[in-house]
Amino acid sequence: MIQPVVLYQCVCDNCKEVIEFGKGWKAFAREDLEAWIDNEEYCMQVIDGQHICDNCISHDEEGVKFVNPKRTIL
């Protein structure tokens, strides 16, 4: 028998890239991915309530973080 499976992904709110956690993990059976977000080991952060991949995060001359609105992959 073949059955459908529901999986969850975290997508960057800026560039729409699917966030990879660890070594190639991009989809999970559980919806509660929040435990991995903002962990230095993974590639994303929550900024102003949005999930942002590290590739979209830049720093100004004073070291203040900001989201690069011009970076898009889709």
Quick: pLDDT tens for 2-26. 999 898 888 899 999 888 776 777 7
Burial 60-73 (b: 16+ CB within 10 A, else e): eeeeeeebeeebee
Look at residue 54 in the predicted model and tell me its pLDDT. 85
Burial 11-42 (b: 16+ CB within 10 A, else e): ebbbbebebebeeeeeeeeeeebeebeeeeeb
CA terminus-to-terminus distance, the chain = 36
Domain carrying residue 15: 1-74
Look at residue 35 in the predicted model and tell me its pLDDT. 64
pLDDT in tens, 30-57: 777 666 665 666 677 888 888 888 889 8
Look at residue 4 in the predicted model and tell me its pLDDT. 92
Look at residue 21 in the predicted model and tell me its pLDDT. 74
The count of domains in the chain is 1
The pTM assigned to this predicted structure is: 0.72
